[in-house]
Amino acid sequence: MSAQDVVVGLIAEALVDFVKRVCECEKLREAHARDLKLAEVADEITRAVAEGREGEYGPVVVKVQRKFLGRREVKAYLYGNEVDVNTLLAELSKARSRAAWLLNDCSENALIETLYKYEDRYLIEVVQRNFDKFKVMCAGKAPEIEFGEAPAHIIEGVVRGIKNYLSAYGSSH
């Protein structure tokens, strides 16, 4: 086995590890889609509840009933189900936490950091340039990669990594 073969194998292994992580994150995004949607409007919902303002905020509807002597009762509906305000605020807090964790651990930068240990700037450049294209591999499809000025060992390693991933993992998705 030549040195070129060893390097190509390492690049292929790096790419498979990277794509596994990308696909894990895609599954997590799907699993926590409700939390992500809720976290997007959490601040607006919190203000509406505090100010006693009615409205529809994504998956939440806030209704206000005026009571005797200017008092008010705030009712909230989360995904169509009535919940008390404290439950709603707790759900918003959980959604914010999950969303922050997911957006941090699955950010483009965090995913590309998995490649730093391989210390190959060409590989990192290819992945950065084609980041969204690699996501199609999660559905068992081969991406169309733009290699730019990448050296032959990177191109060969990425192509081998794509084949390895799709043959090993593509059939299970």
Q: Which two tokens stand for residue 40?
A: 């997007």
Give residue 66's Cα distance to chain centre.
41
Q: Please state the pTM of the whole predicted model.
A: 0.83
Residue 119's region, left for phi above 0, alpha for psi from -120 to 50, else beta, is left
DSSP calls for 102-119: HHHHTSHHHHHHTTGGG-
| Gyration radius of the chain's alpha carbons | 23
How high does pLDDT run on average in the chain?
92
Render pLDDT for 93-145 as a digit per residue (tens, 0 to 9): 999 999 999 999 999 999 999 999 988 999 999 999 999 999 999 999 999 99
Q: CB 76: neighbour CB atoms within 10 A?
A: 23
